[in-house]
Amino acid sequence: MRWDIFCRVIDNYGDVGVCWRLSRQLVMEYRFAVRLWVDDMIRLQRLCPAVDTRLAIQSCRGVEVRHWRHPFPNVTPADVVIETFGCELPENYVSAMAGACSRQHDQILDGCINITEEGTQRVWINLEYLSAEQWVEGCHGLASPHPRMPLTKYFFFPGFTAATGGLLREKGLLAQREAFQSDTVKFWRQLGLAPPAATETVVSLFCYDSAPVSRLLDSWAASVTPVRCLVPASHLLQQIAGWAGIQTLAPGASVLRGNLTLHIIPFLSQEDYDALLWACDCNFVRGEDSFVRAQWAARPLVWHIYPQQDQAHLVKLEAFLDRYCHDLMPDAATAVRTFHRQWNGDGNLDWSGFWQFRAQLQRHATAWAEQLARFKDLAYNLVHFCKDRTNH
């Protein structure tokens, strides 16, 4: 089965991160031919340093990577076409899909069935953003006939229940995490840092510029116990440098204030970022890709959701908190909800009120990851959804 995955980079690393992980999993676990179209090669290269941003076409870790540029080339559409996050396919590509369908029109009864040039039914999917909202279950898998062409598009929703598309999770991921967490000394040495002391709380910080970062750092500096914070290089460094009262920060730099030791580390590949999440006691994450990986890390997390107009993102945040906090004791659940609302809203952060439940939050994070792992993963669900609609 041949796959075309289209990605327009909106959220810096969230959308391209999802697309790259999905592409890699389809190649590695299912041996499919995957062609990934990305409009921002620089962002992809930061997640996978082997990518050459100068090339319009290249093979990278088994995936055919194409630079999505205008005008879009005339290519034969794949058996499965994934339009991620409503990015809208190029017009000539859609026309090519419709043309193949028209040439096979006498072989089908329903003009809205998508047919490849080889006579196989083509599957066109809009892979939507992850949401914990209840309405997602009712919309997952719904078909939408094209208004003018003999084509059908299906809406595929990632989610947290068996009635959705699930979450990206490679085979053996949790076993790999457990093996790593049994001995993290090598990882800290690779970063050029000493392993943390037993009394330290180790956190990773990855968020949007709108987060109340200075207040968070102040709370850690005033913490009763030591806090070690690791920050991958990003636009966030400018804000942190202002807080620290220095002109610039770069990988390798450290800032010590009160009980906070802050380390700036290089921007990490996806595999190394996974390891960072596994090595920390608490992870501040953003968007979608790092948010999902933090859940598989089985560590307490704080999510900075992608801001939307009219505060629509806060509805999605509350929907996730409803699910995530369901099995927490009331006091701990209140602390998690309060801290997330503060981090995504007014900025009056109460870190000590949140972290006083550390032991309970850790047990819950482990149980949450185990619960999610009982469902089929996103790639599996996509593959079987598409196979059910093709002749393969």
Confidence of residue 245 (pLDDT cuts 50, 70, 90): very high
Confidence of residue 183 (pLDDT cuts 50, 70, 90): very high
User: How does pLDDT run across 341-386, given as a tens digit for each residue?
Assistant: 999 997 789 999 999 999 999 999 999 999 999 999 999 999 999 9
What CATH number should be reported for the domain holding residue 238?
Answer: 3.40.50.2000
Say whether both 362 and 380 belong to one domain. Answer: no
88 is catalytic: no
pLDDT of residue 113: 44
What is the pLDDT averaged over residues 18-42?
A: 97
User: How does pLDDT run across 282-325, given as a tens digit for each residue?
Assistant: 999 998 999 999 999 999 999 999 888 778 899 999 999 999 99
Share of the chain above pLDDT 90, in %: 87
Say whether both 7 and 129 belong to one domain. Answer: yes
Domain count for the chain = 2
User: How does pLDDT run across 147-179, given as a tens digit for each residue?
Assistant: 999 999 999 999 999 999 999 999 999 999 999
pLDDT of residue 114: 56
What is the chain's Cα-based Rg? 22
Is 80 inside any structural domain?
A: yes
Say whether both 265 and 223 belong to one domain. Answer: yes
Say whether both 195 and 240 belong to one domain. Answer: yes
User: How does pLDDT run across 104-128, given as a tens digit for each residue?
Assistant: 444 433 333 455 544 457 899 999 9
Share of the chain above pLDDT 70, in %: 94
83 is catalytic: no
Say whether both 259 and 308 belong to one domain. Answer: yes
Is 151 inside any structural domain?
A: yes
Say whether both 110 and 60 belong to one domain. Answer: yes
Is 194 inside any structural domain?
A: yes
Please give the residue range of the domain that contains residue 246: 173-373
Say whether both 144 and 20 belong to one domain. Answer: yes
Say whether both 67 and 97 belong to one domain. Answer: yes
Say whether both 189 and 220 belong to one domain. Answer: yes
Catalytic pick among 11, 40, 79, 288: 288
Is 133 inside any structural domain?
A: yes
Could you write out the three-class secondary structure of the chain?
Answer: CEEEEEECCCCCCHHHHHHHHHHHHHHHHHCCEEEEEECCHHHHHHHCCCCCCCCCEEEECCEEEEECCCCCCCCCCCCEEEEECCCCCCHHHHHHHHHHHHHCHHHCCCCCCEECCCCCEEEEEEECCCCCCCHHHHHCCCEEECCCCCCEEEEECCCCCCCCCCCCCCCCHHHHHHHHHCCCHHHHHHCCCCCCCCCCEEEEECCCCCCCHHHHHHHHHCCCCCEEEEEECCCHHHHHHHHHCCCCCCCCCEEEECCEEEEEECCCCHHHHHHHHHHCCEEEEECCHHHHHHHHCCCCEEEECCCCHHHHHHHHHHHHHHHHCCCCCHHHHHHHHHHHHHHCCCCCCCHHHHHCCHHHHHHHHHHHHHHHHCCCCHHHHHHHHHHCCCCC
pLDDT of residue 107: 41
Mean pLDDT, all residues of the chain: 93
Say whether both 178 and 157 belong to one domain. Answer: no
Is 339 inside any structural domain?
A: yes
Nearest CA to 261 out of 194, 339, 351, 347 is that of 194
Is 196 inside any structural domain?
A: yes
Catalytic pick among 15, 40, 83, 281: 15
Q: Compare 113 and 238 and report the one with higher pLDDT.
A: 238
Model-level pTM?
Answer: 0.93
